[in-house]
Amino acid sequence: MKPTAFKYVRADSIEEALSVLARYGEDVRVVAGGQSLGALLNMRIVTPPIVLDINRIVALSKVESGRAVVTGAMVRQADALSNGTIRRDVKLLALALPHVGHYQTRNRGTLGGSVAHADPSAEIPLVLATLGGEIELCSARRVRRVAAKHFFRSALVTSRGGDELITALHWPRATSDVETAFFEFAVREGDFAIVAVACAFERQAGRMRLGFGGCGDVPQVVEVSAPSGINTNAVEEIARDLSKQLDYRSDLLASANYRRSLATVLARNAMIASLEKARAYA
């Protein structure tokens, strides 16, 4: 057995989970899909006194569509990928999901777990930030919603309180006016992205939101104007300018300079792809 000994608590309802979090707070690690936490436990990078299993909480696996698409924290990535509502109304997420881990890890990994883990290279937090989505947090004290841009604080650090549980993610619905694209570069398919770029182009407004993952410690989102009929030279100039404004980290895989170069190319490709979908490209 590789992890250190821990007390295991399996909650059957959100209320039960919140009571455990209220009582033990920071001593608890919540396990959703366990595809990141399991590795951290096995390597003893984390050694929590208590592991709270939320896999049996049925209420956390729903996908609901209203003004926004609301996905329960326990919606598995594989189920999200085949969900009709998500494919229709949150296209950018549907484009990004095939890049999340592997076929096998998506069977288990969840949308909420990926957001809670907040890996700098993760696709799901990047898409949520790019679309201007929100994270719903519950505790025994209150329910609150936090915008993605305020939620991700640093690598693996979020603004979730010790007694809070991520219960749902709120994804703004894509209108027919919005065209999206998602590109990433990784050493192998399914590996952590060195750089990932998400793009949402609002045709009418002639505006683009570009999200950059893997570059700095948190997803970075910028808005640029992209008038109809924009040409390659202009797109390339925007990509170059944008990529100069971002933060980059260096690690064993890539230097900050290399990441900036990738961000430029992927931003260009993502912009052109979404413009082509909108037929707004000269």
Partner 1 sequence: MLEVEAGAKTTIHFTLNGKPAKAEAETRMQLADLLRHVLKQYGTHVGCEHGICGACTVLIDGRAVRSCLIFAAQVEGSTVTTVEGLAGELGELNDLQMAFRKHHALQCGFCTPGILASATQFLNERAVASERDIRDMLSGHICRCTGYTGIVEAISATAQNRKSRDKKQTSTEKDE
Summarize as ranges the residues that interact with partner 1 (CB under 8 A). 1-12, 16, 31, 34-35, 38-39, 41-43, 49, 51, 53, 55, 78, 98, 101-105, 107-108, 188-190
Closer CB to partner 1, 12 or 241, in the complex: 12
Q: Partners of 31 in the beta sheet?
A: 53
Shortest Cβ 39–partner 1 spacing (Å): 4
Instruction: Say which residues have a Cβ less than 8 Å from residue 16's Cβ, sequence separation at least 6.
Output: none
- Exposed, middle or buried, 179 (CB in 10 Å: 0-12/13-18/19+)? buried
Q: Least distance to partner 1 from the beta carbon of 78, Å?
A: 7
Of the two residues 20 and 224, which places its CB atom closer to partner 1 in the complex? 20
Min CB(208)–partner 1 separation in Å: 29
Cα 282 from Cα 271, distance rounded (Å): 13
- Identify the bridge partners of residue 136 per DSSP, sorted by sequence position: 145, 168
* Nearer to partner 1 among residue 5 and residue 252 (C-beta): 5
- Quote the tokens at residue 70: 């609301």
Residue burial 208-241, b: 16+ Cβ < 10 Å; e: rest: bbbbbbbbbebbbbbebebeeebeeeebbebbee
> Considering beta carbons, is residue 98 or 132 the nearer one to partner 1?
98
Compute the least distance from the CB of residue 30 to partner 1, in Å.
13
Q: Which amino acid makes up residue 12?
A: D
> Are the beta carbons of 163 and 139 closer than 8 angstroms?
yes
Location of structure tokens 């095939």:
98
Query: Whose Cβ is closer to partner 1: residue 157's or residue 187's?
Result: 187
Least distance from C-beta 29 to partner 1, angstroms? 12
